Structure 1
Amino acid sequence: MDMGQYLEIFIEESKENLQNMNQSLLDLENNYGDKNILNDIFRVAHTLKGMSSTMGFSKVASLTHEMENVLQALRNNEISTSEKIIDLLFECLDILEEYITEISNIGDEGDIESDHLVKKLNNIMNADTELVNQENHSEEIAVSSNEVIIETEEFSRNIVEKAVQEGYSGYRIKVELNPNCMLKSARAFIVFNTIERDCEILKSSPSVEDIEDEKFDTSFELIILTKIDEGELKEELSSISEVESVIIEKIVLKEYNTLAEHSETETETKQDMDMEDNADEEEDKKQSKTKKPKVGKTVRVDIDRLDNLMNLVSELIIIKTRLEDIDDDGRKQNMNEAIEYLERITTSLHDAVMKVRMVPIERVFNRFPRMIRDLSKELGKEISLFMSGEETEVDRTVIDEIGDPLIHLIRNSIDHGIEDPQTRKRLGKPDAGTVKLIAYPDGNSVVIEVEDDGQGINIERVKAKALEKGIITKDQSDAMDEKEAIHLLFHAGFSTADKISDISGRGVGLDVVKTKIESLGGIVEVQTIKNKGSKFIIRLPLTLAIIQALLVNIGLEKYAIPLNSIKEIITIKTASIRKVQNQEVVLYRNHTLPILRMGKILNVDRKEPEKEDLIVVVVKKGDKTAGFIVDSLIGQQEIVIKSLGKFLSGIKVIAGATILGNGQVALIVDTNSLF
């Protein structure tokens, strides 16, 4: 059975399950005794084990199986929850995330090893129980006159014995499928799922891998441990479609030393077979690594939104038929009505498609509680994270790109902003610092705020560092106001850290954040008060696919300027333009407005001499404004953004292109890059 078709679903669901486990572990850390949280973590580990076993990812299955054992012991109060155990479970979570990343990249778990974690998990299990010498031993579960051998490498003897002591019963189940069954492995998977709801499967014959690959006839056998009644289990399994018969027999645990009938020849034969299997597995791994699976990006969509989309597409088909049927009589009036109707549908269709692309920003926010926990431990600081607006929806493209800038801003706040507990106590602040992560919609934009209650930005220190690095001169430093000084933080390679650490101080800082945000069509603003804290405000467009733009003529070319960056359109006299420090400016509404000649910046040939009256499009970026001189205005239009491709990706002034109704291409001006 080809499992490749299910790989995308497996990766998506695994990531979601791991995120749930991460959140539950964080909750458990604050409430050791909560059994509901332990049950949630156990369910996630159990689900991951089942999914990975089905897909053939043995490393994930093995690690989650060992995690299950520890979690089960915690649920049964055999061992008590501690910081050490939670740290270990977090380590397991990190390795599982690495496995899933490798699977999404190469279709295989890669060379990452988790044996050290399995050993640690086993040590926890054996810490409070009597250790049994298990080297070179195996166990036997006897059913009537038949004997089934369970190797100690697969199952720990003391776990089986403990399960029997606690009232579990062992059964051997033989399941016979209908000879005409079309999908034997799928039917077997349903049987496995049904059994695993209330039972623990110890062994299957043939192996799980062989069953998944349909390398069996019509029957298979399972060894299980359970507390439920034999009759109830048989009834559940018999009710599954295409299951011909179910035979359940109770088993008895015997000591290994009674197994006299196992000869050395059989052992040697088994070892030879194992070596062959291992060689085959290594060959399969080599082949799988050379072939990268195709894993697409997915978005989970509410079914109502898809229904709405389908209805609008149906309306488009109707209007298409109507346009085809318009005859010569009253053609113009009917055509105009049809075009107006079509315009309404396309607008609604645009809104519907945009909503389908939208996903809650919670998907990004969910990774930060764990990061805050790890950083606070590493730095010896107490940090409280407050999040709000997780339900705010953003374009999927923005979600994929915004994570790294937010990670850097939060790390920056914790390392540079929030003081150590002793300093905070001296300043009369609570021992625990607070980081706030807030998102909310604002018109056609989404605003994300990262705020801390730390020491704020030391303006004088920023200026001193800039002077030291030669970024500014002494005269520039003296003339700088607070906003201009803060802007120095976004200069490439600038850092105020005195020493290099894993968290900050490598000179790769806020310039990367600024570049990434501006590439998404957004802006970053900073507010700070000494000893009160800092706030970084990110403003992003709702969508990157379809935007409203102003089309203008510059020379012989048409250009589009995003409407959300335009403040107003004015007319000025050529004679009113002055030069200040080699920059053209004009006095407008008692403020100095920098003037940019777009024809020169874009290197466009002019079709006629400059007029006395100039059309100026005033654009804004945060609290800054500038005027772009254009030749004429075409009008406002909804445009679809198209990428320029990797060969033209380095052009700073151009953000992309769009195709106009007449087939011409208009370039989209990146206004942020011109400030």
Structure 2
Amino acid sequence: MSDAHRNAFVHESQEGITELNNALLALEADPDDEEAMDSIFRIAHTLKGNAAAMGYEQVSGLAHALEDLLDEVRSGDIAVTTELMDLLFDGVDYLDAMVSEIADEGSTTITVEELETELRAIADGEVGAPGEEQATDDDAADAGSDPAETAGVDATTEGSDSTSESNGSDGDADANADDNGNTEADTAEDESQGGDEPTGSPADESTVEVPESIASIECSDGKSVFETAISLGDTAMPGVDSMFILNAIEDAYEEFATVPDREQIEDGAFEESFTVFIVADTADEIDAGISALSQVERLTVNALNGGSGADTDTETDTHADADADTETVESVEGGTKVDTTDAANTDTSDAGNDADRGGPQKKSKSDIASVRVDVNQLDELYNLVEQLVTSRIKLRREMEEAGLDSDNLDELDKITANLQNTAMDMRLIPLSKVVDTFPRLVRDVARDTGKDVNFTVSGADIELDRTILTEIRDPLIHILRNAVDHGIEPPDAREDAGKTPTGSVSLTATRERDHVTIEVADDGAGLDVDVLKAKAIEKGVKTESELELMDDNQIYNLIFHPGFSTAEEVTDVSGRGVGMDVVHNTVKQLDGTVNVDSEFGEGTVVRLRLPVTVAIVKVMFVEVGGTEYGIPVKNIAEVTRAKDITTTHGDEIIKHDDDIYPVLRLSDVLDEPSSVNGSGMLLRIRDDKRQVALHCDTVLDQEEVVVKPLEGVLSGIPGLSGTAVLGDGDVVAVLDVVTL
């Protein structure tokens, strides 16, 4: 088995498990949700088929057991209970664990026989479903003693119907026989053995019985039904390959049906080919789209109800040699058989006759919407772009020092900037990649704490840099756990407070220019300012006099102090005084901010503001005592000469629009001897970052540079956010104005 096949299986399975979790949540919320039930059954079946095709019997067996149990639930024989859902979620967790182990090790050693046996026993009725009241013998007697009467079916009739169904809709085995007494199956067999009939069937004839779901459709807007025969050729995994094909068809067409049915196809239970009936505009459209798939070796498209023209019947050999013109391929045009042998020498003046039918059709292929790229390759590309940016800066500096100028360099700047933007966009990933797993998380925490919670997500399609998204996952989990555990009250307490017994937790993401704001809100108990003050004094975080000078928002933010927790009990969910300080530190390292807003008795909102991308930023370079430092331009509100500094109570300040800004001399903070006396430059920092003005000797210039965060023992140093490598090779410290 190749790594590529295993990676494809892991990726598809992980996505399926996430979808399965969310579909189970929907079913738990509404046991009558047929769409959720159908989705659950389809995903479980796909997981089973994929795992079996790949040889992962443990995964396939458990998925099969889940599928059998879900079939009983779908049929109404087993009721949806909370206990049953717990068991199903356990099964999904085992699937997730096995797939994760396969991703890391290539195989799984996790044992699931006990769980699989339990699931099958419930599905087979050997034991009662968890949480479902078992019928007594008296109940069974009251239901009626006649088995046939209980089932509501006459045994003889049922047998007749079964026979009829197996032989055709009217039970006549000869109904489809031709004038020679051959059945349709016989005719198909004769054709498969090299008969003279054309490969494409004439219009409004089908070699396969059209499924009722398609036959009943009345086509409009120029659409037609096309019978599409798909051959995979030589493949070790027909089920997996066909699954990819059917998924692509499902994405492209709203109405289609398969023969045999989809479950059999995805199990690989077909011969060399299978048939898909598709409602589409033209045969060319289907041919171009499906033949572009790498899993398809041969394709035949036949219009059943007239199509959109005489050339709607096409056959494409997607793996054929373009130069091989000796193969005879027959097609039907207007009911006339056309022999296209040696098509290269055929007169092509007839507009209705495509040239060179002997080889692959030279049709335009549909664009592939996306490709999967290994994250290591993506990181390598980004590193190369960073080096290119640095080299561009170095080249410009050298040319300026030599007194040279060139339009080519300006053009290089534009190309590099576009490449840089493209590379950064490639790293953007939808927030849904992280938050899609959160509904299950909230559900489990609510169950553990005995609470009822309704969780909603909005803005999941907003994109963030891969690095930021990876780092922010755990902080968001901490916040959600606290929202459910600390925020939402138990049902009886909520009713006593005049609230609905079910609490609400929401995660909302919005984007504003180059930043994304993520809010986690709950309608729970809220934060008690007095409790927070008492805890701050008890922990020695703040003194009573300091707390008196703080507003409510500043007091709320005390929860981010290490070891600060108001939980009365330590639980498995939260309350150990860890988590919120991790949230603060992680967000700060990502050059973001986090704050809390709350109303006692009404709820709490935790708000994270994060940059969309990282690494390449515009920096203003300043000089202090002969040393160069960088300050991100996005943090600077204004640059002025240092001429209006005044002293109040021994502290230097400046005034701007009636606001007072303390002056922070970088020469003092950085222990650099200033080269100016009574002059220099002031950089007033944006109010949303910090109300302060930084004093430096001089302002040099501003450039886009690659900022590398500090790692290891250097990480977390107050006042430093990272380093930038300049074009001349010098390394410059980039200052963090918030912690300076």
Q: CA RMSD in A?
A: 4.0
List aligned pairs for 1:46-125, cutoff 5 A: 46-110=45-109, 112-125=110-123
The question of 1:661 aligning with 2:727 is answered yes
Distance across 1 between alignment mates of 2:7 and 2:297: 28
The alignment partner of 1:374 has SS state of: helix
1:187 aligns to what? 235
Matched, 1:634 2:687: no
The reply on whether 1:518 has 2:588 as its aligned counterpart is yes
CA 3–628 in structure 1, closer or farther in 2 if over 3 Å, else same: same
Q: How does 1:470-549 map to 2 (within 5 A)?
A: 470-549=540-619
1:233–1:427 CA distance, 2 compared to 1 (3 A): closer
Q: 1:611 aligns with which of 662, 677, 681?
A: 677
**SS of structure 2 residue aligned to 1:344:** helix
Q: Trace 1:260-659 onto structure 2 (pairs within 5 A).
A: 297=375, 336-573=406-643, 576-578=646-648, 588-603=656-671, 605-606=672-673, 608-620=674-686, 622=688, 624-646=690-712, 648-649=714-715, 651-659=717-725
- The answer on whether the counterparts of 1:436 and 1:451 sit within 8 Å (CA) in structure 2 is yes
Q: Which amino acid aligns with 1:636?
A: Q
What SS does the aligned partner of 1:187 have? coil
Check conservation: 1:63, 1:118, Cα contact below 8 A.
yes
| Alpha-carbon distance in structure 2 between the residues aligned to 1:492 and 1:56 | 49
Give the C-alpha shift of residue 543 in structure 1: 0.2
Kept in 1: contact 2:646–2:652 (CA 8 A): no
1:236 paired with 2:302, answer: no
Q: Deviations over 1:327-381 (max 9, x none)?
A: xxxxx99x63323333232222222222211111122221221122222222222
Tell which deviates more after alignment, 352-361 or 560-569. Answer: 560-569
Of 70-79 and 482-491, the range deviating more from structure 2: 70-79
Shift of 1:14: 2.1
- CA distance in 1: counterparts of 2:245 and 2:701, whole angstroms: 63
The answer to whether the Cα contact below 8 Å between 1:574 and 1:614 also exists between their aligned partners in 2 is: no
Amino acid at match of 1:388: S
Change (3 A) 1:195 1:351: closer
Deviation (angstroms), 1:598: 2.8
Q: Report what 1:24 is aligned to.
A: 23
Residues 346 and 474 of structure 1, relative CA distance in 2, 3 Å threshold: same
1:658 and 1:4 map into 2 onto residues whose CA distance is 38
Listed as ranges, the gaps of 5+ residues in structure 2 are 129-160, 167-231, 247-260, 277-294, 299-372, 396-402
Could you tell me how far 1:92 is from its partner in structure 2? 1.2
TM-fit CA distance, 1:185:
11
Q: How far apart are 1:389 and its partner, in Å? A: 1.2
Give the direction of change, closer, same or farther, for the CA distance of 1:579–1:67 in structure 2 (3 Å limit).
farther
For 2:725 and 2:32, the matched residues in 1 are separated by 61
Structure 1 residue 194: deviation in Å?
5.9
What does the per-residue CA deviation read over 1:436-477, in whole Å, with 9 as the maximum and x for residues that have no partner? Answer: 211111122111111122222111110101111222223223
The one-letter code matched in structure 1 to 2:273 is E
- Percent identity of the aligned residues? 33
* TM-aligned CA deviation for residue 502 of structure 1: 1.4
Equivalent residue letter for 2:700: I
Give the aligned residue type for 2:122: I
Q: In structure 2, how many angstroms separate the alpha carbons of the residues matched to 1:299 and 1:526? A: 38
Asked if the contact 1:574/1:612 (under 8 Å) is kept, the reply is no
- Give the Cα–Cα distance (whole angstroms) in 1 for the partners of residues 715 and 421 of structure 2: 29
The alpha carbon displacement at 1:531 in A equals 2.1
> Deviation of residue 25 (structure 1)?
0.9
1:195/1:381 CA distance change after superposition, 3 Å: closer
Give 1:355's aligned amino acid. Answer: D
Classify 1:666/1:107 alpha carbon distance in 2 versus 1 (closer, same or farther; 3 Å): farther
Task: Answer yes or no: is the 8 Å Cα contact 2:566–2:575 preserved in 1.
Answer: yes
TM-score, length-scaled by structure 1: 0.68
Distance (Å, rounded) in 1 between the aligned partners of 2:40 and 2:573: 30
CA 1:298–1:429 in 2, change beyond 3 Å: closer, same or farther?
Answer: farther
Amino acid at match of 2:24: L
Q: Which residue of 2 aligns with 1:248?
A: none
TM-score normalised by length of structure 2? 0.62
Name which of structure 1's ranges 437-446 and 59-68 shifts more when overlaid on structure 2: 59-68
Match of 1:38 in 2: 37
Q: 1:140 is matched with which residue?
A: none
Contact conserved, 1:3 with 1:55, CA < 8 A, in 2? Answer: no
Task: Note the alpha carbon deviations across 1:166-194, whole angstroms, 9 max, x for none.
Answer: 8999xxxxxxxxxxxxxx99623127866
> Is 1:299–1:359's contact at 8 Å kept on the other side of the alignment?
no
Aligned mates of 1:238, 1:443 — CA distance in 2: 49
CA distance in 2: counterparts of 1:569 and 1:196, whole angstroms: 58
Cα contact 1:435–1:452 (8 A) shared by 2: yes
Decide whether aligned partners of structure 1 residues 237 and 489 sit closer, same or farther in structure 2, where only a CA change above 3 A counts: closer
Displacement of 1:650: 5.2
Separation (CA, whole Å) in 2 of partners of 1:25 and 1:347? 46
3-state DSSP of counterpart to 1:672: coil
2:499 partner letter: K
Matched residues in 2 for 1:643 and 1:166: separation? 71
**Comparing both structures, which one devotes a greater share of its residues to strand?**
1
Equivalent pair of 1:418/1:454 in contact (CA under 8 Å): yes
Code of the residue aligned with 1:468 in structure 2: it is E
Cα distance in 2, alignment partners of residues 596 and 576 from structure 1: 13
Distance 1:62-1:673 versus aligned 2 partners, 3 A rule: farther
Relative to 1, partners in 2 of residues 1:8 and 1:242: Cα closer, same or farther, differing over 3 Å?
closer
How many pairs align? Answer: 515
Answer yes or no: is the 8 Å Cα contact 1:550–1:562 preserved in 2: yes
* Counterpart Cα distance in 2 of 1:421 and 1:83: 17
* C-alpha distance in 2 between matches for 1:671 and 1:97: 43
Q: Relative to structure 1, is the Cα distance of residues 68 and 615 closer, same or farther in structure 2, using a 3 angstrom cutoff? A: same
Measured against aligned partners, the alpha-carbon deviations of 1:248-307 in whole angstroms (never above 9, x if no partner) come to xxxxxxxxxxxxxxxxxxxxxxxxxxxxxxxxxxxxxxxxxxxxxxx953799xxxxx9x
Contact 1:67 1:121 in 2 (8 A): yes
Q: 1:523·1:621 contact (CA, 8 Å) conserved in 2?
A: no
The offset of 1:544, in angstroms, is: 0.9
Q: 1:105 to 1:611 in 2, by over 3 A?
A: farther
Opposite residue 524 of structure 1, the aligned amino acid is V
Aligned partner of 1:127 in structure 2 is: 125
